[in-house]
Protein backbone atom coordinates (compact mmCIF):
# COMPACT_ATOMS: atom_id res chain seq x y z
CA UNK A 1 0.00 0.00 0.00
CA UNK A 2 1.12 3.53 -0.66
CA UNK A 3 0.06 7.00 0.49
CA UNK A 4 0.88 10.21 -1.37
CA UNK A 5 0.63 13.36 0.71
CA UNK A 6 0.23 16.73 -1.01
CA UNK A 7 1.64 19.64 1.00
CA UNK A 8 0.07 22.82 -0.32
CA UNK A 9 2.21 25.92 -0.48
CA UNK A 10 4.77 25.20 2.28
CA UNK A 11 6.68 28.22 0.95
CA UNK A 12 3.87 30.42 2.32
CA UNK A 13 1.70 28.33 4.62
CA UNK A 14 4.19 26.83 7.02
CA UNK A 15 3.76 28.88 10.15
CA UNK A 16 4.89 26.96 13.25
CA UNK A 17 6.47 24.19 11.18
CA UNK A 18 3.59 22.23 9.70
CA UNK A 19 6.21 20.17 7.92
CA UNK A 20 6.57 18.21 11.16
CA UNK A 21 3.00 17.03 10.75
CA UNK A 22 3.90 15.63 7.34
CA UNK A 23 6.88 13.82 8.83
CA UNK A 24 4.61 12.30 11.45
CA UNK A 25 2.21 10.97 8.79
CA UNK A 26 5.12 9.57 6.74
CA UNK A 27 6.75 7.84 9.71
CA UNK A 28 3.53 6.33 11.00
CA UNK A 29 2.98 4.84 7.53
CA UNK A 30 6.56 3.62 7.18
CA UNK A 31 6.61 2.01 10.62
CA UNK A 32 3.71 -0.12 9.38
CA UNK A 33 5.35 -0.99 6.08
CA UNK A 34 3.12 1.40 4.13
CA UNK A 35 4.99 3.36 1.49
CA UNK A 36 4.65 7.13 1.89
CA UNK A 37 5.73 10.02 -0.27
CA UNK A 38 5.16 13.76 -0.03
CA UNK A 39 4.82 16.20 -2.89
CA UNK A 40 5.28 19.84 -1.91
CA UNK A 41 3.47 22.25 -4.22
CA UNK A 42 4.62 25.81 -4.55
CA UNK A 43 2.34 28.57 -5.66
CA UNK A 44 2.80 28.18 -9.41
CA UNK A 45 2.81 24.38 -9.55
CA UNK A 46 -0.05 22.49 -11.15
CA UNK A 47 -1.78 20.17 -8.70
CA UNK A 48 -3.20 16.85 -9.88
CA UNK A 49 -5.53 16.00 -7.01
CA UNK A 50 -6.24 12.56 -8.47
CA UNK A 51 -2.72 11.50 -7.47
CA UNK A 52 -3.08 12.59 -3.83
CA UNK A 53 -4.37 10.63 -0.83
CA UNK A 54 -3.96 13.25 1.90
CA UNK A 55 -3.77 17.03 1.42
CA UNK A 56 -2.24 19.24 4.11
CA UNK A 57 -2.99 22.94 4.13
CA UNK A 58 -0.90 24.59 6.81
CA UNK A 59 -1.02 27.79 8.82
CA UNK A 60 -0.12 31.23 7.59
CA UNK A 61 -0.28 34.83 8.69
CA UNK A 62 -2.99 37.11 7.29
CA UNK A 63 -0.43 38.49 4.83
CA UNK A 64 0.46 35.05 3.48
CA UNK A 65 -3.19 34.02 3.33
CA UNK A 66 -3.85 37.08 1.22
CA UNK A 67 -1.05 36.00 -1.14
CA UNK A 68 -2.36 32.46 -1.63
CA UNK A 69 -6.01 33.43 -1.92
CA UNK A 70 -5.75 34.44 -5.59
CA UNK A 71 -4.21 31.07 -6.39
CA UNK A 72 -6.95 29.25 -4.52
CA UNK A 73 -9.53 30.49 -7.01
CA UNK A 74 -7.68 28.59 -9.75
CA UNK A 75 -7.59 25.30 -7.87
CA UNK A 76 -11.02 25.61 -6.21
CA UNK A 77 -12.92 23.42 -8.66
CA UNK A 78 -10.45 20.54 -8.58
CA UNK A 79 -10.02 20.79 -4.81
CA UNK A 80 -13.81 20.75 -4.34
CA UNK A 81 -14.14 17.65 -6.52
CA UNK A 82 -11.41 15.95 -4.45
CA UNK A 83 -13.25 16.76 -1.19
CA UNK A 84 -16.66 15.69 -2.49
CA UNK A 85 -15.08 12.41 -3.63
CA UNK A 86 -14.06 11.81 0.03
CA UNK A 87 -10.45 12.94 -0.39
CA UNK A 88 -8.67 13.34 2.95
CA UNK A 89 -7.66 16.86 4.01
CA UNK A 90 -6.05 18.25 7.16
CA UNK A 91 -6.20 22.04 7.28
CA UNK A 92 -4.51 23.89 10.11
CA UNK A 93 -5.10 27.39 11.45
CA UNK A 94 -4.69 29.78 8.47
CA UNK A 95 -5.34 26.78 6.20
CA UNK A 96 -8.44 25.93 8.24
CA UNK A 97 -9.79 29.44 7.75
CA UNK A 98 -9.23 29.08 4.00
CA UNK A 99 -11.56 26.06 3.84
CA UNK A 100 -14.48 28.42 4.30
CA UNK A 101 -16.08 31.00 2.05
CA UNK A 102 -14.11 33.97 3.38
CA UNK A 103 -11.88 35.42 6.08
CA UNK A 104 -12.66 39.06 6.75
CA UNK A 105 -9.79 41.04 8.28
CA UNK A 106 -9.18 44.71 9.02
CA UNK A 107 -6.84 44.71 6.02
CA UNK A 108 -9.45 43.33 3.63
CA UNK A 109 -11.35 40.30 2.51
CA UNK A 110 -9.63 36.98 1.84
CA UNK A 111 -11.72 34.75 -0.39
CA UNK A 112 -11.62 31.15 0.76
CA UNK A 113 -11.89 27.83 -1.04
CA UNK A 114 -15.53 27.40 -0.11
CA UNK A 115 -15.07 23.67 0.48
CA UNK A 116 -16.89 23.67 3.82
CA UNK A 117 -19.91 25.76 4.83
CA UNK A 118 -18.09 28.09 7.24
CA UNK A 119 -16.55 31.57 7.41
CA UNK A 120 -14.12 33.54 9.54
CA UNK A 121 -14.04 37.13 10.74
CA UNK A 122 -11.29 38.88 12.60
CA UNK A 123 -12.25 39.59 16.20
CA UNK A 124 -10.90 41.80 18.89
CA UNK A 125 -7.58 40.48 20.20
CA UNK A 126 -6.05 37.11 19.55
CA UNK A 127 -7.09 33.81 21.08
CA UNK A 128 -3.79 32.40 22.34
CA UNK A 129 -3.79 29.41 24.64
CA UNK A 130 -3.08 25.80 25.27
CA UNK A 131 -6.18 23.92 24.22
CA UNK A 132 -7.79 20.56 24.94
CA UNK A 133 -10.75 19.10 23.05
CA UNK A 134 -12.94 16.09 23.43
CA UNK A 135 -13.79 14.81 19.99
CA UNK A 136 -16.37 12.11 19.42
CA UNK A 137 -13.98 10.60 16.85
CA UNK A 138 -11.57 9.49 19.59
CA UNK A 139 -11.44 8.45 23.19
CA UNK A 140 -8.16 10.27 23.93
CA UNK A 141 -8.58 14.07 24.11
CA UNK A 142 -6.90 16.17 21.40
CA UNK A 143 -4.28 18.52 22.84
CA UNK A 144 -2.48 21.48 21.31
CA UNK A 145 -1.94 25.20 21.12
CA UNK A 146 -3.99 27.89 19.39
CA UNK A 147 -3.06 31.43 18.28
CA UNK A 148 -5.54 33.17 16.00
CA UNK A 149 -7.18 36.53 15.47
CA UNK A 150 -9.96 35.06 13.33
CA UNK A 151 -13.24 33.77 14.77
CA UNK A 152 -14.60 30.88 12.76
CA UNK A 153 -18.30 30.09 12.40
CA UNK A 154 -19.13 26.60 11.17
CA UNK A 155 -22.89 27.02 10.60
CA UNK A 156 -24.44 23.54 10.77
CA UNK A 157 -21.21 21.63 10.27
CA UNK A 158 -19.90 19.15 12.80
CA UNK A 159 -17.13 20.51 15.03
CA UNK A 160 -13.95 18.52 15.58
CA UNK A 161 -14.50 18.65 19.31
CA UNK A 162 -15.87 20.29 22.40
CA UNK A 163 -13.41 22.64 24.10
CA UNK A 164 -12.42 21.41 27.57
CA UNK A 165 -9.74 24.09 27.94
CA UNK A 166 -8.93 27.06 25.69
CA UNK A 167 -10.98 29.15 23.27
CA UNK A 168 -11.72 27.18 20.09
CA UNK A 169 -13.43 28.39 16.92
CA UNK A 170 -14.82 31.68 18.18
CA UNK A 171 -14.11 31.80 21.90
CA UNK A 172 -17.83 31.58 22.66
CA UNK A 173 -19.60 28.50 21.38
CA UNK A 174 -17.27 26.08 23.13
CA UNK A 175 -16.42 24.11 20.01
CA UNK A 176 -13.26 23.76 17.98
CA UNK A 177 -12.49 22.80 14.41
CA UNK A 178 -14.67 21.20 11.80
CA UNK A 179 -15.23 17.77 10.28
CA UNK A 180 -16.79 17.54 6.85
CA UNK A 181 -16.64 14.23 4.97
CA UNK A 182 -12.92 13.31 5.18
CA UNK A 183 -11.82 16.89 5.85
CA UNK A 184 -10.59 18.00 9.25
CA UNK A 185 -9.97 21.67 9.96
CA UNK A 186 -8.51 22.89 13.25
CA UNK A 187 -6.83 25.85 14.91
CA UNK A 188 -4.35 23.56 16.72
CA UNK A 189 -1.04 24.31 15.14
CA UNK A 190 2.55 23.23 15.62
CA UNK A 191 3.04 19.54 16.38
CA UNK A 192 -0.65 18.63 16.04
CA UNK A 193 -0.11 15.12 14.68
CA UNK A 194 2.95 14.06 16.73
CA UNK A 195 1.00 15.06 19.87
CA UNK A 196 -2.21 13.42 18.67
CA UNK A 197 -1.39 10.10 17.01
CA UNK A 198 -5.10 9.20 17.03
CA UNK A 199 -5.71 12.07 14.61
CA UNK A 200 -2.74 11.14 12.41
CA UNK A 201 -4.05 7.57 12.20
CA UNK A 202 -7.58 8.77 11.38
CA UNK A 203 -6.16 10.57 8.35
CA UNK A 204 -4.02 7.61 7.27
CA UNK A 205 -6.84 5.10 7.75
CA UNK A 206 -9.40 7.14 5.82
CA UNK A 207 -6.92 7.68 2.98
CA UNK A 208 -6.12 3.95 2.80
CA UNK A 209 -9.76 2.90 3.00
CA UNK A 210 -10.70 5.25 0.18
CA UNK A 211 -7.91 3.87 -1.98
CA UNK A 212 -7.89 0.17 -1.07
CA UNK A 213 -11.32 -0.55 0.39
CA UNK A 214 -13.15 -0.26 3.69
CA UNK A 215 -11.68 -3.45 5.15
CA UNK A 216 -8.18 -1.94 5.49
CA UNK A 217 -7.05 -1.80 9.11
CA UNK A 218 -4.04 -0.13 10.73
CA UNK A 219 -1.71 -2.18 12.88
CA UNK A 220 -1.24 -0.55 16.31
CA UNK A 221 1.99 1.30 17.13
CA UNK A 222 3.57 1.88 20.51
CA UNK A 223 2.14 5.28 21.44
CA UNK A 224 2.86 4.97 25.16
CA UNK A 225 4.97 8.14 25.27
CA UNK A 226 2.36 10.15 23.39
CA UNK A 227 -0.34 8.85 25.74
CA UNK A 228 1.74 9.77 28.77
CA UNK A 229 2.31 13.29 27.40
CA UNK A 230 -1.41 13.61 26.68
CA UNK A 231 -2.31 12.59 30.23
CA UNK A 232 0.21 15.05 31.63
CA UNK A 233 -1.32 17.94 29.64
CA UNK A 234 -4.86 16.96 30.67
CA UNK A 235 -3.79 16.74 34.32
CA UNK A 236 -2.09 20.10 34.11
CA UNK A 237 -4.99 22.04 32.62
CA UNK A 238 -8.13 20.16 33.61
CA UNK A 239 -7.56 19.13 37.18
Site for ligand GLN, rule CB under 6 A: 15, 59-62, 65, 93-94, 97, 147-150, 189
User: Quick one: 69 or 204, whose CB is closer to ligand GLN?
Assistant: 69
Nearest distance in Å: CB 92, ligand GLN: 7
Nearest distance in Å: CB 150, ligand GLN: 3
Contact call for residues 75 and 47 (beta carbons, < 8 A): yes
Q: In angstroms, rounded to a whole number, what is the distance separating the alpha carbons of residues 208 and 38?
A: 15
Contact call for residues 118 and 152 (beta carbons, < 8 A): yes
For residue 121, list its beta bridge partners. 104, 151
- Exactly one of 7, 24, 148, 189 is catalytic; which is it? 189
User: Quick one: 53 or 64, whose CB is closer to ligand GLN?
Assistant: 64
Q: Is 93 a catalytic residue?
A: yes
User: Quick one: 112 or 226, whose CB is closer to ligand GLN?
Assistant: 112
Q: In angstroms, rounded to a whole number, what is the distance separating the alpha carbons of residues 172 and 194?
A: 28
Which residues are within 8 A (CB) of 26 and not within 5 positions of it... i.e. 6 or more apart? 5, 36, 37, 38
Q: In angstroms, rounded to a whole number, what is the distance separating the alpha carbons of residues 142 and 109?
A: 31
Q: Is 206 a catalytic residue?
A: no
User: Quick one: 105 or 182, whose CB is closer to ligand GLN?
Assistant: 105
Nearest distance in Å: CB 59, ligand GLN: 3
- Exactly one of 93, 148, 157, 206 is catalytic; which is it? 93
Residues designated catalytic:
93, 189
Amino acid sequence: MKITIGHLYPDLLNLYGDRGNIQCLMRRCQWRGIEAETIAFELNDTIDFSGLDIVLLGGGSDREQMLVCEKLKEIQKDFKAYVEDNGVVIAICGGYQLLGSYYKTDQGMITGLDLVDMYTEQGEGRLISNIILQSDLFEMPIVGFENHGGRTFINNCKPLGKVLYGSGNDGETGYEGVVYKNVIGTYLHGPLLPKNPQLADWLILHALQKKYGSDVELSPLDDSQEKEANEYICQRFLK
